[in-house]
Amino acid sequence: MKVSVIGTGYVGLVTGVCLAEVGNNVTCLDIDEEKINMLQLGKSPIYESGIEEMMEKNLHENRLSFTTSYSTACERADVIILAVGTPSNPNGSANLLYLQKAAENIGKHLIKDGTIIVTKSTVPVGTNNKVKQWIQQSLTEPIFFEVASNPEFLREGSAIQDTFEADRIVIGTESRYGTHVLKELYSPFQIPTLQTSLESAEMIKYASNAFLATKISFINEIANLCEKLDADIEDVAKGMGMDQRIGPQFLKAGIGYGGSCFPKDTNALVQIAGDIEHRFELLESVIRVNSSQQIKLIGKALDHFGSLKGKKAAILGLAFKPNTDDIRESAAIEVIKTLLHYGATVNAYDPVAIPNMKRLYPESAEIQYTSTAYEAIANADMIFILTDWEEIKELNLPTIAELEKKPVLFDGRNCFDLRTIQKSGLTYHSIGRQILTGARQDPKFVEYGDGFEN
């Protein structure tokens, strides 16, 4: 099939490249000329493992091309996929301006009957009908087209794998014709497909992200209780997750969710509900819990040190999760801001996200970036683990314990087993677990074990 993808951000690029990989003829459009030049050379503007190899192969085999021209993208396309950004307005609602512009440009350049225009961007319920109107009003001659909603569920860092091994493909369409065309487009992926109305498909995306965010805030609140009640969140989450009705995923307690989707989509859904005079109190709480969870470690550091003024903090991990350089809504942003506010200085390390964080916090007397984790912790009073990168989980604890200042470890991702920490003699604060004070013996383990399954 001939497919055009409008917008070469995360979703657009991954979708375009994967659709080319299964044999379609794909044209990706972006209005950013510099980005298109880079893409034409096979360079990906996003950090995603495997994407450049797949781009190179499909560029070479002439199934993938990049353009800034709407007439090139629209003239012969069977399917046009809208994957432009829908950023948050100041009140949390989704800003549909990019989507409207893209839809109008498609309308102006559509010359073939039967094209399906698919919205992949996450949009409020009812937006596909607006897309239809925007296109209709921009047509230069009467042309038959249909719209469809096809939300994506890709996770950054495993987006290609997620595309090929998704749990489901959701297709909201206007008619059997649209369903038929999209089912055919996705048939090479052999993934269960759910066909719904446009509105239900739009809602499935928001409801799924809101539910996952709820799971995270829920487990974080349980972790906060565990800290006060001497229970261990890792054991509690394991015990809960063994119940198949609950499931083990998204029960990892920590410093909350970040990224480009959960914060934006939860806020947007609260706003969507508000627009029809429904107060989504549960989701409002989920959002509030997440905001305070992001800076939970600062409270622990203040309790421990009394004051953070003049203290050196090593930050390990800046990305909102491992295997991405994305720092959007990352807890690291708030943690750094708050540490600087309390008069601490910061040494920050991340395997790939430093260039992005430097744009927010340029290097200064207060904040330095290092090229290894060990450099960051060398003269630190405290270490904050904010992203559970594999390399951070493999840090050599005895080396840290031997440092002159013997820094206190504040682990926001529960990267270490308490027994391992206990052996190292480090002082360790984590989420929803016992505080280890550096003493060599801790009777709690001896008496009660630590949750190993029999």
By annotation, the residues acting in catalysis are 261
Least gap, CB of 209 to ligand UDX (angstroms): 6
Instruction: Decide if 8 contacts 28 (C-beta within 8 A).
Output: yes
Q: Which of 312, 321, 429, 433 binds ligand UDX (CB under 6 A)?
A: 321
- Contact between 206 and ligand UDX (CB under 6 A)? no
- Contact between 96 and ligand UDX (CB under 6 A)? no
- Contact between 254 and ligand UDX (CB under 6 A)? yes
Residue 155 or residue 419: which is nearer to ligand UDX going by CB?
155
Residue 55 or residue 261: which is nearer to ligand UDX going by CB?
261
Contacts 24+ apart (CB under 8 A), 94-100: 94/122, 94/123, 94/124, 94/264, 94/268, 94/271, 96/123, 96/124, 96/127, 96/130, 98/7, 99/123, 99/127, 99/131, 100/130, 100/134
Q: Which of 218, 250, 305, 342 binds ligand UDX (CB under 6 A)?
A: 250
- Contact between 153 and ligand UDX (CB under 6 A)? yes
Torsion sign across C-alpha atoms 385, 391, 393, 394: negative
Least gap, CB of 260 to ligand UDX (angstroms): 6
Give the bridge partners for 119, in sequence order.
Answer: 82, 149
Which residues lie closer than 8 Å to 382 by C-beta, 6 or more apart?
301, 304, 305, 311, 312, 313, 314, 407, 408, 409, 410
Strand 427-429 vs strand 436-437: parallel, antiparallel, or unpaired? Answer: antiparallel
HSE, CB side, 13 Å, CA atoms: give it for residue 68: 10
Least gap, CB of 99 to ligand UDX (angstroms): 17
Least gap, CB of 192 to ligand UDX (angstroms): 16
- Contact between 218 and ligand UDX (CB under 6 A)? no
Instruction: Decide if 85 contacts 13 (C-beta within 8 A).
Output: no
The tokens for 437 are 């004070």
Q: Which of 43, 60, 76, 155 binds ligand UDX (CB under 6 A)?
A: 155
Q: Which of 152, 174, 325, 411 binds ligand UDX (CB under 6 A)?
A: 152
Q: Which of 134, 206, 257, 389 binds ligand UDX (CB under 6 A)?
A: 257
Report the largest interatomic distance among the alpha carbons of the chain, rounded to a whole angstrom: 80
Distance from C-alpha of 320 to C-alpha of 257, rounded to nearest angstrom: 7
Query: Angle of helix 10-21 relative to helix 51-60, nearest 10 degrees?
Result: 50
- Contact between 47 and ligand UDX (CB under 6 A)? no
Give the other-Cβ count within 10 Å of 49's Cβ: 13
Least gap, CB of 259 to ligand UDX (angstroms): 3
Q: Which of 9, 12, 259, 317 binds ligand UDX (CB under 6 A)?
A: 259
Q: Which of 251, 333, 346, 386 binds ligand UDX (CB under 6 A)?
A: 251
**Three-class HEC string of 345-376:** EEEEECCCCHHHHHHHCCCCCCEEECCCHHHH
Distance from C-alpha of 116 to C-alpha of 138, rounded to nearest angstrom: 16
- Contact between 154 and ligand UDX (CB under 6 A)? yes
Residue 186 or residue 250: which is nearer to ligand UDX going by CB?
250
- Contact between 258 and ligand UDX (CB under 6 A)? yes
Binding segment for ligand UDX (CB under 6 A), chosen from 53-61, 100-108, 109-117, 148-156, is 148-156
Least gap, CB of 295 to ligand UDX (angstroms): 14
Residue 145 or residue 384: which is nearer to ligand UDX going by CB?
384
Least gap, CB of 300 to ligand UDX (angstroms): 17
Distance from C-alpha of 363 to C-alpha of 318, rounded to nearest angstrom: 14
Residue numbers 260-279 binding ligand UDX by CB under 6 A: 261-262
Which helix (H) or strand (E) is 164 found in, with range? helix 159-164
The tokens for 173 are 């369409």
Least gap, CB of 200 to ligand UDX (angstroms): 17
Least gap, CB of 44 to ligand UDX (angstroms): 16
Residue 167 or residue 447: which is nearer to ligand UDX going by CB?
167
Number of residues that bind ligand UDX (CB under 6 A): 19
Binding segment for ligand UDX (CB under 6 A), chosen from 253-261, 339-347, 367-375, 415-423, is 253-261
Binding segment for ligand UDX (CB under 6 A), chosen from 76-84, 255-263, 428-436, 442-450, is 255-263
- Contact between 216 and ligand UDX (CB under 6 A)? yes
Distance from C-alpha of 13 to C-alpha of 43, rounded to nearest angstrom: 11
Burial (CB count <10 Å: 0-12, 13-18, 19+), residue 141 = exposed
What residue type is 250 in one-letter code?
Answer: F
Residue labelled with tokens 């009777």: 443
Residue numbers 281-320 binding ligand UDX by CB under 6 A: 320
Give the other-Cβ count within 10 Å of 447's Cβ: 7
Residues lying near ligand UDX in the complex (CB under 6 A): 152-156, 209, 212, 216, 250-252, 254, 257-259, 261-262, 320-321
